[in-house]
Amino acid sequence: MESATAQTSEQVTATMNYLAESHRKPVSYMYQPPAGVPLRSWYISRHRTAIRNARLIVDDLSLDRQGFVLTHQHSKVTNFYDDAEVLAVYYPEVERIVKQATGAARVLVFDHNVRRGPGTEAVRGVREPVKYAHNDYTLKSGPQRVRDLLPAEAGELLKHRFAVINVWRPIRGPVEQMPLAVCDAGSIAEKDLVPTDLIYPYRVGEVHSLAFNPNHRWFYFPRMQTDEVLLLKCYDSAADGRARFTAHGAFEDPNTPPGAPARESIEVRTIAFFAE
């Protein structure tokens, strides 16, 4: 009965973690910073938020309107914790998924993360879900990623439209603990997206933290299964009114039953290149 309720309930109310007001550019270190320097310069602002059941509108979703869609694909991967198998088997699968969903002329699959919820056995290279509203790319870091990955071709590629698409799926289902919430891109104002530096030992990246706005419309897909795949548009070079940035973050679902298994998921980053 609980699972049926979670599938059909119109929404849940949960806490979303936002960026608290900051008077300087937020900074996060992705390694142990120098002595006396905090791991991050910013603070979280917690807001009780309605998170709607996206299954009720799944057929109306579009990457160019809301910035996210749900599709289905049975993967031939047997172990998502095996990087070699993910690169050899899953990357080509993801390339096909994104091409089909976007109509892109070319798709580059370039990175992935496997995540497990807290309380599970530690696995090298596996991180916990990110319980913070954010978007992975900015006006600066989107084009820079193309330059970093394809330096010889970047000059020509950047003359045409491209989009960074994240591909998210459970590797153990159904997801009952700490599901992923996504924010309708059409409800995000430009001022809500706050560029944030990610400092690595040898480079500085940039993402968007999300500042609170009561107009945000949040969604999730209850009890996602392993053959369900969520596509998120994290950057689009086209500034013609279509969705460009889709904020997202994990949250604690009040429908999570006691003793539910920890969430296990994989997210793959891709760049879709278009002829236009």
The tokens for 122 are 């530690």
Q: Is the pLDDT of residue 25 over 50?
A: yes
Q: Is the pLDDT of residue 1 over 50?
A: no
Cβ(229)–Cβ(71) below 8 Å: yes
For residue 263, give the nearest of 252, 275, 274 by alpha carbon: 252
Q: Is the pLDDT of residue 121 over 80?
A: no
The pTM of this model reads 0.93
pLDDT at 21: 86
Question: Strand, coil or helix: what is 111?
Answer: strand
Cβ(104)–Cβ(167) below 8 Å: no
Encode pLDDT of 159-180 as tens digits. 999 999 999 999 999 999 999 9
Q: Total structural domains in the chain?
A: 1
Give dist(CA 148, CA 264) in Å, integer. Answer: 29
pLDDT at 126: 82
pLDDT at 122: 60
Question: Who's near 256: CB < 8 A, 6+ residues apart?
Answer: 176, 177, 178
Encode pLDDT of 195-214 as tens digits. 999 999 988 999 999 999 99
Range of the domain at 167: 2-273
Cβ(179)–Cβ(253) below 8 Å: yes
CA end-to-end span of the chain, whole Å? 49
Give dist(CA 166, CA 234) in Å, integer. Answer: 7
pLDDT at 120: 64
Cβ(69)–Cβ(63) below 8 Å: yes
The least confident of 35-44, 115-124, 262-271 is 115-124
CATH of the domain at 192: 2.60.120
Confidence of residue 4 (pLDDT cuts 50, 70, 90): very low
Strand runs labelled E in the chain: 11-19, 27-29, 44-53, 68-72, 106-116, 134-135, 162-170, 180-183, 193-199, 204-210, 218-220, 228-236, 248-250, 264-273
Encode pLDDT of 52-95 as tens digits. 999 999 999 999 999 999 999 999 999 999 999 999 999 999 99
Q: Is the pLDDT of residue 181 over 50?
A: yes
pLDDT at 2: 42
pLDDT at 8: 57
